[in-house]
Structure 1
Amino acid sequence: MTSEPVGRGESAILRPTAAAKHIDVRRVVPAERWRPFIQYHWIVRWECPEPFVQQVIPQPFVHVSAELLEGRPRLLVNGITREPFVRTLTGTGHVLGAAFRPASFRAVLGADLGIVSGRIVPLCDVVGPDDSSAAAEILRADATDEEMVAELEAHLDRLDIVADPDADAINALVDAAERDRSLTRAEQLAELAGVSLRTLQRQFTAYLGIGPKWVVQRFRLLDAAAAAHTGTRTDWAALAAELGFSDQAHLTRAFTSVVGTPPATYARNA
């Protein structure tokens, strides 16, 4: 099993300097059989003598995580959400999650992603057998990274999952939106896909539970967060233009709605 620091996705973790004092985040490559579906596993361990609030910018990935729900260990489906993602961490603990490739959780669910969009629901409520025993094993205080990942994948092995070839095309488009900063409009993704914007919107709604405009803008906001994390002076007006926002005020509104503060303010405090 390959384990490594979180790396590329670190711009999603807000106020990373403070976070590094309390939490350790690692990514683990899934087993070969799960790579068509799971982009990576993530493991967060924390030591917080006092309550620590951590915020993460949601990305266009469905996550299945082992966490406590009303004091009971559960495997939870975290649908793609527009809302800020905030957790208050106390004491010592850990959580394991699987970040599914953007369009690939539909094969697990067997239905359009709209039924979990913006929701956090127990996995067994939407598909598969009871998950509490697997979650309890994952959340054991002495569980190693290897044991946690093996337990989660073993539970997922019990589900009747058939790969959806159409998901690969959607995944490729989301990957392009993440990598290419020149992609700033949903129309560009539709052109890249060779379909109309309306068709692309229908495909994204079915496979992600959210539209292509949101996906493109979310990655550009992550680019803005990455700029804030460099600790160097940023020309926000120029960056807004580069990232496809109509002006600096447009970037400020979008960034503030996700992060809670304007980008310049966040950069000073991050």
Structure 2
Amino acid sequence: MIYAQRGILYPARMPEFHRLPPPTEAAQLVEWFWIPEWHIEPGRTSRQHVVAYPALNLVVQPGRVELVGASTKATHRDLVGRGWAVGALLKPASVAALVDDPSALRDDSTNFHAPELLAAVTQAMEAGEDMHRERAAQVFADWLIERIGQVAASARQANEMATLLMADAAITRAEDAAVRLSMSLRTLQRLAHRHVGLPPAAMIRRRRLQEAAQRVREHPDVDLSTLAAELGYADHAHLTNDFRTVLGIAPSAYRSS
């Protein structure tokens, strides 16, 4: 399921922004493609705050391709002038074919050598066609399919792990996920390390925090103690501490902002 604004802390401040589902043939490789386009007035800056999904992103923008690792904290980017980006939120099955150790990219990024991908996506985005975003996502998907090839059983298992950790609110501990996936906790931890670069507990924590931020934003009158209980936090203080640690702000202050 595509949550159009989950992870974006201040949606009203966003430039034109789209999330597109991958074509069927790339469904094992990409969660979605995200495409911002912006034209900021001269002398102004638009700061975008994000609490990202616990996954890697492959991002094409004018002149370069970047592989961005999973993050453990809120991040921001300052937009100026005119520009665009086309990012692929990668499913775990894609990761092993693109980087040897995703944990080395945690809270970091690196330039990624993919001249064919850069040329194809740039041509699609700058062609001036009505369906330029859809075309960019399609050529991006085609490149991933060719680069990654057949998806191995272990990679599909890693996808199942990520879906469970990020979509099932009943999963509040890594041990719960291991039982549901009929594997040992150690096997689960190895899958997460190899295909995401974060431990399973960190992925669960990120899901709860994203949902908490979205609920606070969309329902300003929500009782924070009730919300904490519904999301599996021990209490209101636990939720507040998680907010402060990752977002640098308490949920009550975020609600006010």
In 2, the alpha carbon distance for the partners of 1:76 and 1:201 equals: 26
In 2, the alpha carbon distance for the partners of 1:38 and 1:248 equals: 35
SS at match of 1:209: coil
Contact kept, 8 Å, 2:13 with 2:48, in 1: the verdict is no
Q: Which runs of 5+ in 2 are unaligned?
A: none
Which segment drifts farther, 178-187 or 258-267? 178-187
The AA in structure 2 aligned to 1:96 is V
In 2, the alpha carbon distance for the partners of 1:183 and 1:94 equals: 36
Contact kept, 8 Å, 1:38 with 1:100, in 2: the verdict is yes
The AA in structure 2 aligned to 1:55 is H
State the match for 1:31 in structure 2.
23
Contact kept, 8 Å, 1:29 with 1:41, in 2: the verdict is yes
What does the per-residue CA deviation read over 1:150-196, in whole Å, with 9 as the maximum and x for residues that have no partner?
A: 44345445525331211222222321222222221112112212223
TM-score, with structure 2 as normaliser: 0.87
| Count of residue pairs brought into register by the alignment | 253
**Does 1:100 pair with 2:90?**
yes
Question: Which of 221, 228, 253 is the aligned partner of 1:233?
Answer: 221
Structure with the largest fraction of strand: 1
- 1:110/1:258 Cα in 2 relative to 1: closer, same or farther (>3 Å)? closer
**Does 1:84 pair with 2:82?**
no
In 2, the alpha carbon distance for the partners of 1:29 and 1:226 equals: 21
TM-score, with structure 1 as normaliser: 0.83
Question: Which of 61, 66, 71 is the aligned partner of 1:67?
Answer: 61
In 1, the alpha carbon distance for the partners of 2:215 and 2:207 equals: 13
The AA in structure 1 aligned to 2:242 is A
- 1:153/1:223 Cα in 2 relative to 1: closer, same or farther (>3 Å)? closer
**Does 1:11 pair with 2:1?**
no
For 1:1-270, what aligned pairs fall within 5 Å after superposition? Answer: 8-19=3-14, 23-49=15-41, 50-68=44-62, 73-101=63-91, 103-109=92-98, 111-124=100-113, 132-134=118-120, 136-137=122-123, 140=126, 142=128, 144-156=132-144, 159=147, 161-269=149-257
How far did 1:142 drift?
Answer: 3.7
Q: Which runs of 5+ in 1 are unaligned?
A: 1-5
How far did 1:212 drift?
Answer: 0.3
In 2, the alpha carbon distance for the partners of 1:177 and 1:226 equals: 18
In 2, the alpha carbon distance for the partners of 1:167 and 1:160 equals: 11
SS at match of 1:77: strand
- 1:48/1:110 Cα in 2 relative to 1: closer, same or farther (>3 Å)? closer
- 1:75/1:233 Cα in 2 relative to 1: closer, same or farther (>3 Å)? same
